[in-house]
Structure 1
Amino acid sequence: MGQGVTYRKIKGDPEPHCNCKKCNYYKECRIVLAVALAVVSLCLIAVIVLAVLLDMSSSDGRATSAVLSQGPPLVPSQGLPLVPCCPERWVGYGGKCYYFSTEEKNWDSSQRFCSSFNASLAVIDTQQEKDFMVRYAGLVEHWIGLRRDSGQPWKWVNGTIFSQQLFEVSAEGNCAYLSDVIVSSSRCYFLRNWICSKPDAYTKGKEHAMERD
């Protein structure tokens, strides 16, 4: 009788058992942590980029301010500004700079004020120039550079005889002022706002260059 084979189950340590719920929890934690780190990294990158852009913008602003403080660029051959240039609080139009006052003086004091800026009370050369001044001045009356002595013709402050083909001066005063529609006149000691005018830097430079030629 053959010898029988006996099978016996060997008892040992039990096979490790995996807690599926715990594993899933750890996986979810790792995913959340990875996403959080990615978001933080993107935020840091955005902050760095923004700081660089702000620094570049500030540098450009300082450079632009430095250029503007030096005045307009000049034409190398003539030493002229490339664009019209008027002082601060002056308005440029048609090759001239204009100053519209916000206070009142008599005609002579107004002219002295303009002279202190190498200008004069406004001289009007064209109808377009007059229309511009009327629009800008609004309803406020302003002295202009037109005056006459008793019994004499009207003269501009630059010595030019006034031509009534440009416009008429109403009333019987000796100093002219610009109103909302017309040019009128009154006694010179009355107080009014005033308008100064002078050639802008570009136009003045061209005139000097032509004189040299």
Structure 2
Amino acid sequence: MPVDTVIFSGEGPHADPWHRLAETSATIGDLIGGPVTIVTSVDRLAAALDGARLLVVNASADRSTPIREDEDFARVLDGFLGRGGSLLATHSATLAFPGLPRWRSTIGAAWEHGRTFHPPIGPSRIRRTRVEHPITIGLGDIEVHDERYTDLALVESADVVPLYVHDEGGATHPLVWARTAGTSRIVYSALGHDVRSYESSGHVELLGRIAAWLRHET
């Protein structure tokens, strides 16, 4: 059966010491269903995406400067989105591919060192916005054990549609949003620090809705 979804699970320069990406990638694959393959190498990504509808990027970086593989990834991503593929970027993906403007503009934000932070991980309530969107029809607020990314550097031109937010420091911060780029659908979800996040029934339901929208099933 052809692969429907490819998960790029960061390793080496596309990982960090704080996230167990292999574990969360496996969990995401189990939850979203369909024929899924997990790849950990940019060199293998283009071939893996042949015929796929959805790319999930569950990656990070413990560095501040780009490497050659970042540009290789950008070329693969451009080709995939250019043919109408959809993208889900999760949690620490805002740290991935540092210094790569194409990645930042695609997902709509980046972790900015010295500005972006998160309160201590723990039980949190994530609020649904009033935005009407196929992903969130019938859903409510979510209780989840997770980190709440705060003060992400948003890209104004990305025209993001915030679906879930949290409150911190007297301000409201977007956590999950959706956007389109041409015929491609793109979602960023700051949820998913570790597998405990996916023990939340609300998060599992949200992830399923996201996958269905990205696969053009809703």
For the aligned pair, the TM-score class normalised by the smaller chain equals under 0.3
From the two aligned structures, give the one with the greater helix fraction.
1
Q: TM-score, normalised by structure 2?
A: 0.23
Q: TM-score, normalised by structure 1?
A: 0.23
